[in-house]
């Protein structure tokens, strides 16, 4: 066991369990969360279509991605999923409100996202399921997955906006 192992264990637990808790709020309504019905309605209101699909994907990204980061399982993949979700959270909800979390800004989401990005780049070390299984991931794989996560996050926000620029569909008129 090294100080690196302890550091990434601490970071993985903090970032991963925080994301998992937010996912549990969305999935089960725990800790004052909306539950899946409320979360689907929120996704609909934000303009994501189909809202049910986006609600399930975003909830799973937080719940499962967070748990995987916490235990260090498939860390580069989990980090990429969480980075994609964080990108959506920042661009869709918090960016327009500035930096400070007290005003609804990006501060908290950015910190969690950077933590996930760091875990994706570093790996989880020996005190993780990846480490116990002897799984290592090439640096190029970790970087590629994180770039993919960022791109997917940006596209998840951009595509619904592009659809709104062209007006309602003929069926909606």
**Tens of pLDDT along 72-101?**
999 999 999 999 999 999 999 999 999 999
Residue 90 lies in a domain: yes
Residue 170 lies in a domain: no
Whole-angstrom distance, CA of residue 22 vs CA of residue 8? 21
128 neighbors 71 (Cβ within 8 angstroms): yes
**Percentage of the chain surpassing pLDDT 90?**
88
Q: How many domains does the chain have?
A: 1
Tokens 């189909």 identify what position?
50
pLDDT at res. 161: 67
In the numeric block, which tokens belong to residue 85?
A: 């979700």
Residue 169 lies in a domain: no
Residue 160 lies in a domain: yes
Residue 172 lies in a domain: no
In which domain, by residue range, is 104 found?
Answer: 3-164
Q: Give the mean model confidence (pLDDT) for residues 111-119.
A: 98
Cis peptide before 153 (omega within 30 of 0): no
Residue 173 lies in a domain: no
């Amino acid at each position: 066991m090294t100080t690196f192992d302890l550091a990434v264990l601490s970071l993985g637990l903090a970032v991963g369990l925080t994301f998992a808790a937010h996912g549990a709020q969305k999935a089960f309504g725990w800790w004052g969360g909306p539950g899946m019905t409320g979360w689907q309605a929120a996704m609909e209101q934000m303009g994501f279509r189909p809202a049910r699909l986006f609600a399930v994907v975003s909830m799973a990204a937080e719940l499962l991605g967070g748990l995987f980061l916490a235990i260090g399982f498939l860390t580069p993949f989990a980090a990429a999923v969480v980075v994609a979700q964080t990108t959506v959270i920042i661009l869709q909800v918090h960016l327009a409100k500035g930096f400070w979390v007290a005003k609804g800004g990006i501060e908290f989401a950015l910190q969690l996202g950077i933590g996930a990005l760091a875990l994706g780049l570093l790996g989880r070390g020996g005190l993780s399921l990846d480490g116990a299984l002897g799984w290592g991931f090439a640096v190029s794989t970790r970087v590629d997955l994180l770039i993919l996560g960022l791109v997917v996050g940006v596209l998840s926000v951009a595509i619904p906006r592009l659809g709104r620029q062209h007006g309602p569909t003929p069926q909606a008129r």
